[in-house]
Structures are given as C-alpha cells and as structure tokens.
C-alpha cells in the first residue's frame, strides 16, 4: 500500500495558500482570532472569513485553541495529536508555517544560496512555487524512501544555551526550568537535552516531517513538559507583553530540537533541508 503524507501549514492570518492535496492549511488560534496578535491587531471580519474558507480550525474536539497567545502555532500540533483521524490518518505528518517552507530542490532557490542560518529569504512568491521548491507529494515521499524524516536544520555558530541567554524576549529562567522538568520527569531524554544545549547545529521552528508513531511519542513528551512549564509561569503572564507571553511557543522550539537530537542519537536519519522564508507573507483581503 502506498504511504501517505500530510503537511500541516500553520496560519494565523491570510497568506500564500498551499492547495495541493498533501497540505492541510490550519488556523492556529482560531478561538483567539478577536484578540490582539503579535502583529499588534486582531483579525478583521474579512480576514476571518478568508480563514474560515481556507483553513481547518484548531478549535474543535479536544483542543487548546484559546491558549494560542501562549502556545503560538503549537495549538495546531495539539489539535492534530488529539484529532488525527480528521486529517485522514496519514502515515507521515509534517508541519510548516505560513512564511517558512521546506526547500527540497537543493540548497539554492532562483539563484540565491541558503545563508549561514540555512534560510533563503524572498520578497514575493513566484509562479509555480510549490514545484520550484520541490514540495510535491511525490518528491516528499521519494525523500522519505531514504530517510526516517525531514527537518529544518542550521548551524547557528552559537550554542542553544547561548542563544536562549541572549534571546530578545525570553527570560533564561524559562529555558532552565524546561531542562529541570526534563531532568526530573524524562530521564531517557535528559542526556540528549544537555548534549543539544552545547551544540551549534540544531533543528528548529517546528518544521519537520516524521512517522505518525514518532509524532505521537513526541507530543506525549512535548505537552507534558509544556503543561508543567505553564504551571511554573502562571504568575508571570500578566506582567509580560504580548510577545513575551509566547513562553510556551518558544519553549516548544527548543523541545523539538531536543527531541530531534534524541531521535538522531537513536539512529533515525533525517534529511536536513533549508527553509525558504517569505519576507512579505500576508496577503490583502
């Protein structure tokens, strides 16, 4: 039987729409649509109508959609975890974001090479974009014939601990607490967590494609740690800006990298690819 893949693309406002059958456009934070976002405004009624027409909401069944301002796009991962049959129960599940897209056709795009962060920045989506970046179902499955997964990876030239210590909006205590939770409750993952924090090569942004079974194990780990971190942070949220309140979303980026390192240590092979990043992702409605 032919294996199937679905890549969920997380949106929080109208942007370039992936229409091919292997993509699932997801509305990240549908129940928070009327709240001020990181862009400084809530969605207009026209934007809400567009999102309703083109995206699956993350607010049905078992969900945490209303907590999007803390979790960011991780509300979509939670929804998929708890409502997996609603996206046709694929063998492989992947995630990208409205402005960050896998490049499967080499390390250059339209003559531009990936930079030191393994990203290529563009100002406009060109015609035949999906074919140009290689994100067809056939291409994705051909890669997965030779690898256990696909991940966005880069070499930051600084350790993850150093990055977290200098991050523009996050207190290092949240990163330290994350590691403390892993040490206490996930001892099988703790060695990878401490190895990963010293490395400069990492996987980030929750951009990946993995087997269904691996995804479910990852979510068991991810949301257990995030819930405990949320409890630790509960008295801080009211003191923080909208950007700073995204504690759990930022923590989740670290947690994916840690879990990816744990998977690679176990022998899983990932195709590590660049990302094409759209500098002007939002469209006028």
What is the distance between the alpha carbons of residues 120 and 37, in angstroms, rounded to a whole number? 26
Query: Which residues, in sequence order, are CB contacts of 262 under 8 Å at separation 6+?
Result: 189, 192, 193
The whole-number pLDDT of residue 164 equals 85
Q: 247-265 and 212-233 are packed helices; what angle lies between their axes, rounded to 10 degrees?
A: 140
Domains of the chain, by residue range, sit at 5-278
Cβ atoms < 10 Å from Cβ of 19: 9
**Mean of per-residue pLDDT scores for the chain:** 94
Closest CA to 75 of 92, 91, 95: 95
Query: Which range has the top average pLDDT, 33-37, 112-116, 158-162, 270-274?
Result: 270-274
User: Interior CA angle at 163 toward 254 and 210, to 5°?
Assistant: 25
- Judge whether residue 183 has pLDDT over 80: yes
The whole-number pLDDT of residue 168 equals 62
The whole-number pLDDT of residue 117 equals 87
Residue range 113-118: mean pLDDT, rounded: 91
- Rg of the chain's alpha carbons, rounded to an integer? 18
Where residue 163 falls among pLDDT bands split at 50, 70, 90? confident
- Judge whether residue 270 has pLDDT over 80: yes
Q: What is the pLDDT of residues 219-248, one digit of tens each?
A: 999 999 999 999 999 999 999 988 889 999
Direct distance between the N- and C-terminal alpha carbons of the chain, in angstroms, rounded to an integer? 41
3-class DSSP state for residue 197? Answer: helix
- Judge whether residue 82 has pLDDT over 90: yes
């Amino acid at each position: 039987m032919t294996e199937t893949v679905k890549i969920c693309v997380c949106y929080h406002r109208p942007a370039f729409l992936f229409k091919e059958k292997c993509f699932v456009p997801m509305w990240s934070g549908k129940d928070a649509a009327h709240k001020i976002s990181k862009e400084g405004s809530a969605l207009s009624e026209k934007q809400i109508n567009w999102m309703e027409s083109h995206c699956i909401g993350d607010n049905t069944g078992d969900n945490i959609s209303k907590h999007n301002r803390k979790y960011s796009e991780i509300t979509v991962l939670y929804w998929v975890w708890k409502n997996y049959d609603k996206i046709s129960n694929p063998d492989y599940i992947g995630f990208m974001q409205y402005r960050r897209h896998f490049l499967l056709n080499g390390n250059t795009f339209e003559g531009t090479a990936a930079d030191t962060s393994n990203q290529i920045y563009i100002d406009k989506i060109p015609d035949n974009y999906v074919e140009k970046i290689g994100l067809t179902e056939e291409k994705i499955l051909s890669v997965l014939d030779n690898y256990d997964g696909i991940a966005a990876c880069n070499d930051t030239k600084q350790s993850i601990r150093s990055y977290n210590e200098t991050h523009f909006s996050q207190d290092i205590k949240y990163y330290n607490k994350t590691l403390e939770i892993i040490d206490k409750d996930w001892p099988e993952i703790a060695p990878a967590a401490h190895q990963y924090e010293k490395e400069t090569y990492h996987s980030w942004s929750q951009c990946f494609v993995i087997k269904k079974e691996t995804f479910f194990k990852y979510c068991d780990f991810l949301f257990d740690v995030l819930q405990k971190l949320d409890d630790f942070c509960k008295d801080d949220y009211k003191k923080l800006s909208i950007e700073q309140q995204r504690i759990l979303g930022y923590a989740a980026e670290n947690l994916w990298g840690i879990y990816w390192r744990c998977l690679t240590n176990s022998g899983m092979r990932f195709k590590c690819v660049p990302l094409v990043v759209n500098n002007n992702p939002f469209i006028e409605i």
